[in-house]
């Protein structure tokens, strides 16, 4: 039993637990979980080792000594993992790597507790007293070699990182190196100098000291916030130029991006004044004060034209300035974009077309001065509102539904809309609305461009009214023209076509026969005893008979037939497409119908009849004049007997003289 040893080990274990607790509170930092695992292993190692020194029996002491291996076998592994995180090589720690790294510690613990069956751990050196295990079987030395290898590998990685770090960061890495060296020293002392002094294993105490140094580096230098070795990845490969200068503006550290603007042929900038490293723009640094600053620097060093230069003080824990952090980036492309945006904004602001921009939900984000001039609304009045505040209520809702559906699908809509100004006045606009899409095709904004077309719409409406009036006038003129035409081709008494129209039509039908061979028949009609009617009843009686005859012919002829007043009491009907037989049948119908009609004049009633002559082309004539002569001859024979239809027969009528005027 040794209370002094136990006290030291207990203090070491408690300190390890405190450090583990601090690491757990900051477990979101990359190094914290590895530090937590290391300190838990060390705490278990120290506390179980302390118990082994105070238990009353040697058997109990040996039991607790074996139990220490749960921490002793895992502490070197936790140390190595922590170093990997510190030097930014944690990408090596794949799942397979973890399994391989944990294999030997796991087998060590298993073989330690099962040694009586195989003697691989203790071999021929069984533990008979409390203290430490100095000798053993094959696996004892395998585990010892593995633990040394992990600590040596960690020490190598830290030393390598120390040599690669700049002077500005070496203080932090130096702490890590000292912490890694202490367990080596303690373990070496235990194996090669302990027998001369004491059986106490100082390794867990030394490892706890290592943990304290690591914790100081983490919490004092804030290694969890910025691991120095990560500089190789972060700083060296950044697109921004970064350099660190001391208080005398000498370069302490610089990344490759910053070297692009350094003087050509410069071997190493470290330790040299800033003005010497960047002599081409020494005037910029000469005018910089010690206060934090941000400048926009114009350069004539293609491809650089504009740099965003920022200078910030680097301070120690007491808040004293120990250097300067200078960063810059090439913002030449950004300035070009800004210039294009400035031109574009100016173009939109001065555009005679009204422009309105909304978000994807239709809330107004911007209107240009032209829209303010057009509607009376300022940007502050409409920002965040829906463009429906401009609706007049007179535009069909279907138009707005179509508009919204079109632009929501990412397509352009255009059309004419009747809107309302702030003062209530309505106005017409020709509007084009286009969606703005991001690289994924999602709508980010809508841009509406409006052209005031009120004047043209009003002019259009006035022209429409004038056109409607002109159309009405034209229709009236056309109607009058048609009426005049009708008057020119109609007989005023009977409303039949006049002789001139009949001659034109007959000539046209005869000419048509040359293209479409068919018969054309004419029926010449004369009122029997018409002179007697005029003598007995006066001209009014004769006119009434002629009007009745005209009405009968109009009602009993086809649309293609031409019924006309040929002269005096004679009528003539042209029957296109009718043969002589058909024409005779039609003439017979007219004769029979007219013979049944009665006329009353001055209280007296009378009847009269018709004589009708029929001739056909091309059977009885070769021209229109010959056709009329043939019909006239047939009428002559009909009048000789009255109330008769006679068809022209050239053989029968050959040699006969034309009828005299008194018979007619």
pLDDT of residue 637: 92
Domain extents in the chain: 3-230, 238-334, 351-452, 490-653
Structural domain 238-334, CATH architecture: 2-Layer Sandwich (3.30)
Query: How far, in Å, CA of 63 to CA of 61, rounded?
Result: 5
Q: Which pLDDT value is given to residue 230?
A: 47
Give the residue carrying structure tokens 């550290």.
Answer: 253
pLDDT on residue 143: 84
Is CATH 3.40.50.300 correct for 3-230?
Answer: no
Q: Strands 241-246 and 251-254, how do they pair? A: antiparallel
Intervals of the chain under pLDDT 70 = 1-2, 5, 28-30, 123-135, 165-172, 180, 183-184, 186-202, 204, 207-208, 211, 214-238, 265, 267, 281-292, 299-304, 316-319, 651-664
pLDDT at 549: 92
For 351-452, CATH number?
3.30.450.20
| Residues 211, 40 contacting (CB under 8 angstroms) | no
Please give the Cα distance from 564 to 663 (Å, whole number): 22
Three-state DSSP state, 307: strand
Which of these, 330, 329, 327, lies nearest to 243 by C-alpha position? 327
481 with 548: CB under 8 angstroms?
no
d(CA 467, CA 15): 103
Write down the pLDDT at residue 363.
93
Q: What is the pLDDT of residue 237?
A: 60
Question: What is the number of other CB atoms lying within 10 angstroms of the CB of residue 356?
Answer: 21
Q: Is the peptide bond between 9 and the residue preceding it cis, with omega within 30 degrees of 0? A: no
Superfamily of segment(s) 490-653: Reverse transcriptase/Diguanylate cyclase domain (3.30.70.270)
Q: What are the residues whose beta carbons fall under 8 Å from the beta carbon of 240, sequence distance 6 or more?
A: 257, 327, 328, 329
**Do 351-452 and 238-334 have the same topology in CATH?**
yes
pLDDT (0 to 100) of residue 124: 67
Q: How far apart are CA 229 and CA 375, in angstroms?
A: 63
pLDDT of residue 109: 87
């Amino acid at each position: 039993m040794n209370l002094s040893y136990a006290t030291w080990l207990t203090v070491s274990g408690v300190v390890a637990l405190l450090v583990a607790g601090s690491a757990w509170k900051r477990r979101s930092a990359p190094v914290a979980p590895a530090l937590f695992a290391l300190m838990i292993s060390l705490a278990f190692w120290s506390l179980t080792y302390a118990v082994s020194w105070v238990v009353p029996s040697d058997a109990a002491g040996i039991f607790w000594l074996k139990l220490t291996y749960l921490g002793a076998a895992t502490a070197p592994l936790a140390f190595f993992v922590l170093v990997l995180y510190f030097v930014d090589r944690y990408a090596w720690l794949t799942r397979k790597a973890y399994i391989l790294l944990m294999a030997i510690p796991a087998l060590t613990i298993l073989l330690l507790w099962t040694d009586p069956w195989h003697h691989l751990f203790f071999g021929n050196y069984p533990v008979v007293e409390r203290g430490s295990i100095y000798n053993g079987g094959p696996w004892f030395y395998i585990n010892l070699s593995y633990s040394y290898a992990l600590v040596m590998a960690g020490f190598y990685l830290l030393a390598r990182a120390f040599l690669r770090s700049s002077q500005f960061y070496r203080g932090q890495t130096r702490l890590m190196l000292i912490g890694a060296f202490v367990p080596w020293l303690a373990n070496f002392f235990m194996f090669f100098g302990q027998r001369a002094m004491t059986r106490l294993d100082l390794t867990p105490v030394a490892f706890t000291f290592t943990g304290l140094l690591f914790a100081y580096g983490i919490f004092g230098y804030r290694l969890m916030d910025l691991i120095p070795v990560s500089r190789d990845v972060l700083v060296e490969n950044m697109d921004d130029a970064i350099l660190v200068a001391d208080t005398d503006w000498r370069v302490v550290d610089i990344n490759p991006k910053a070297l692009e603007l350094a003087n050509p042929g410069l071997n190493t900038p470290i330790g040299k004044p800033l003005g010497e490293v960047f002599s081409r723009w020494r005037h910029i640094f000469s005018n910089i004060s010690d206060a934090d600053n941000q400048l926009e620097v114009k350069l004539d060093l293609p491809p650089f034209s504009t740099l965003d230069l920022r200078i910030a003080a680097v301070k120690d824990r007491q808040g004293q300035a120990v250097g300067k952090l200078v960063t810059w980036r090439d913002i030449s492309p950004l300035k070009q974009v800004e210039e294009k945006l400035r031109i574009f904004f100016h173009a939109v602001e001065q555009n005679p077309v009204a422009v309105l921009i909304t978000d994807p939900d239709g809330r107004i984000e911007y209107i240009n001065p032209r829209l303010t001039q057009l509607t009376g609304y300022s940007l502050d009045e409409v920002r965040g509102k829906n463009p429906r505040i401009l609706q007049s209520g007179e535009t069909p809702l279907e138009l707005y539904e179509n508009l919204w559906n079109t632009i929501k699908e990412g397509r352009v809509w255009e059309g004419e809309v009747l809107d309302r100004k702030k003062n209530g006045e309505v106005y017409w606009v020709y509007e084009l609305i286009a969606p703005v899409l991001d690289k994924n095709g999602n709508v980010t904004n809508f841009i509406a461009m409006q052209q005031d077309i009120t004047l043209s719409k009003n002019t259009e409406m006035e022209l429409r009214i004038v056109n409607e009036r002109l159309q009405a006038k034209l229709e009236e003129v056309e109607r009058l023209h048609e009426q005049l035409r009708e008057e020119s081709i109609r007989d005023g008494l009977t409303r039949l076509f006049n002789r001139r129209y009949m001659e034109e039509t007959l000539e046209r039908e005869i000419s048509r026969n040359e293209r479409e061979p068919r018969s054309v028949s004419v029926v010449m009609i004369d009122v029997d005893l018409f002179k007697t009617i005029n003598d007995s009843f006066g001209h009014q009686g004769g006119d009434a008979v002629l009007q009745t005859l005209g009405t009968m012919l109009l009602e009993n002829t086809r649309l293609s037939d031409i019924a006309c007043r040929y002269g005096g009491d004679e009528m003539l009907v042209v029957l296109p497409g009718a043969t002589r037989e058909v024409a005779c049948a039609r003439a017979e119908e007219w004769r029979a119908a007219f013979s049944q009609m009665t006329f009353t004049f001055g209280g007296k009633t009378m009847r009269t009849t018709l004589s009708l002559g029929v001739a056909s082309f091309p059977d009885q004539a070769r021209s229109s004049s010959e056709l009329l002569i043939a019909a006239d001859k047939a009428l002559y024979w009909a009048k000789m007997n009255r109330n008769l239809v006679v068809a022209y027969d050239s053989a029968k009528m050959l040699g006969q003289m034309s009828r005299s005027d008194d018979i007619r």
